[in-house]
């Protein structure tokens, strides 16, 4: 029994030592990491045609002491890959992995301002006496954004100012175009996104319908204003009735526009509101 108790005591000491060592890893130098790695969407569609640039911001948090001077944050573009697993038809064990780079990778100088461009270097900093900063990424309005959504995955880079924080908090994907895109509160189709809880599954058909009915830019700013006003349920009621009216309109039925569908693809699902 004493031997057992002694063994447990040793394990507890070792565990405590490991926890302390883990903490020390993040106390040796000042580090930086992203506050949110969720994919971020942006669009030029609501912006006047004459405006050819838009800036979005990525929040970073520092770990460690603040400084009495500005500290540079570095970002770099990294590729994204899709993985397909090949399984044995009998054992179902994975026998091979097919790796393919994701299409529509944003191009520096075409779809976004190079992350090392001198014009933005002074803005890519954590200010003196601060522990949090919003780092700008400048998007460019290329004509190709009318036809496709482009992807820019940015990743933090260690430099002489900062080491890197948590491995899973170092990179983030930006998806942008010159057409309708998901906004943050509708970023995914589950209840972690508040717009999903209110309006249901996202689709470009539904999004465009909302724009047409409400005569508004249906984006994050609009959605937050709706929540603040307490009118969210009323908006959903209006949209559900408008959809019902649209789908029974003889002209829409005759033209094939009704019932309203999520996309223009053949066999696309019908749009619904919860």
Confidence of residue 88 (pLDDT cuts 50, 70, 90): confident
Residue 27: what pLDDT?
63
Residue 25: what pLDDT?
54
Report which of 150, 147, 148, 202 is spatially closest to residue 174, judged by C-alpha positions: 150
Per-domain boundaries in the chain: 29-181, 184-274
- Residue 75, class by beta-carbon neighbours within 10 Å (0-12 exposed, 13-18 middle, 19+ buried)? buried
Listing from the earlier edge strand, what are the strands of the sheet with 40-43? 40-43, 171-177, 150-157, 74-77
The b/e string for 134-150 (b: 16+ C-beta within 10 A; e otherwise) is: ebebbbbbbeebeeebb
User: 186 near 226, Cβ under 8 Å?
Assistant: no
User: What CATH number matches the domain at 29-181, 3.40.50.2300, 2.102.10.10, 2.60.40.2030, 1.10.800.10?
Assistant: 2.60.40.2030
Kindly report the pTM of this predicted structure.
0.79
Residue 7: what pLDDT?
42
User: Would the pLDDT of 194 be above 90?
Assistant: yes
For residue 215, CA distances in Å to 11, 20, 207, 222, 239 come to 65, 57, 12, 11, 12
Q: Which of 92-96, 104-108, 134-138, 158-162 has the lowest mean pLDDT?
A: 92-96
What pLDDT digit, counting tens, does each position of 230-271 carry?
999 999 999 999 999 999 999 999 999 999 999 988 889 999
For the chain, first and last CA: distance in Å? 62
């Amino acid at each position: 029994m004493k031997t057992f108790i002694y063994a447990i005591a040793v394990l507890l000491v070792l565990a405590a030592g490991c926890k302390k060592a883990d903490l020390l890893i993040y106390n040796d130098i000042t580090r930086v990491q992203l506050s949110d790695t969720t994919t971020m969407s942006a669009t030029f569609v609501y912006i006047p045609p004459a405006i050819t640039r838009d800036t979005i911001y990525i929040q970073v948090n520092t770990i460690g002491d603040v400084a009495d001077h500005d500290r540079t944050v570095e970002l770099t573009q990294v590729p994204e890959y899709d993985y397909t697993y090949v399984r044995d038809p009998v054992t179902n064990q994975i026998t091979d992995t097919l790796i393919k780079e994701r299409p529509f990778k944003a191009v520096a100088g075409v779809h976004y301002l190079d992350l090392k461009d001198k014009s933005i270097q002074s803005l890519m900093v954590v200010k003196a006496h601060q522990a949090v900063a919003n780092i700008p990424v400048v998007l460019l309005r290329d004509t190709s954004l009318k036809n496709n959504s482009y992807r820019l995955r940015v990743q933090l880079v260690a430099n002489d100012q900062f080491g890197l924080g948590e491995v899973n908090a170092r990179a983030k994907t930006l998806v942008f175009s010159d057409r309708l895109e998901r906004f943050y509160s509708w970023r995914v189709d589950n209840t972690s996104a508040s717009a999903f809880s209110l309006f249901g599954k996202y689709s470009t058909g539904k999004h465009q319908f909302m724009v047409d009915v409400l005569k508004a830019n249906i984006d994050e700013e609009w959605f937050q204003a709706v929540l603040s006003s307490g009118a969210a349920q009323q908006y959903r009621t209006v949209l559900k009735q408008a959809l019902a009216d649209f789908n029974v309109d003889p002209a829409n039925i005759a033209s094939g526009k009704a019932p309203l569908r999520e996309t223009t693809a053949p066999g696309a699902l019908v749009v619904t509101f919860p």
